[in-house]
Amino acid sequence: MSEEKLNSVFAVWHRHEVGTASDEKLIGVYASVPEAEAAIARVANKPGFRDTMSGFEIQEYVIGRDGWTEGFISEDEALE
């Protein structure tokens, strides 16, 4: 019996605007797109989520690859 190597995972995020800020929730991380879609289906009818269905997003992350490589600046620096 051979084991399949997992090369990517799929994160389900939900984002919506609250006033001038963005509220982000990580729903979970899954081994496949169908599992990620099933997670959305499980929470889609819950309070808050059902009112902002367009806020769901599935993002693929490749295992072993850096995701943020350019550095960053603070919010205060960005406003200067």
Kindly state whether residue 78 falls inside one of the protein's structural domains. Answer: no
CATH number, domain containing residue 25? 3.10.20
Rounded to a whole number of angstroms, the CA Rg of the chain reads 16
Q: Which strands make up the sheet holding 21-30, listed edge to edge?
A: 21-30, 8-18, 56-62
Kindly state whether residue 2 falls inside one of the protein's structural domains. Answer: no
Beta strands in 1-80 (DSSP E): 8-18, 21-30, 56-62
C-alpha–C-alpha distance, residues 53 and 10, integer Å: 18
Q: The pTM is what? A: 0.77
Kindly state whether residue 74 falls inside one of the protein's structural domains. Answer: no
Q: What is the pLDDT of residues 11-40, one digit of tens each?
A: 999 998 888 888 899 999 999 999 999 999
Q: Which structure tokens are listed for 46? A: 């819950």
Kindly state whether residue 73 falls inside one of the protein's structural domains. Answer: no
Kindly state whether residue 41 falls inside one of the protein's structural domains. Answer: yes
Kindly state whether residue 18 falls inside one of the protein's structural domains. Answer: yes
Kindly state whether residue 50 falls inside one of the protein's structural domains. Answer: yes
Q: What is the mean pLDDT of residues 52-57?
A: 94
What is the total count of domains within the chain? 1
Boundaries of domain holding 34: 8-64
C-alpha–C-alpha distance, residues 52 and 63, integer Å: 30
pLDDT band at 74 (very low <50, low <70, confident <90, very high): confident
Kindly state whether residue 1 falls inside one of the protein's structural domains. Answer: no
pLDDT of residue 68: 83
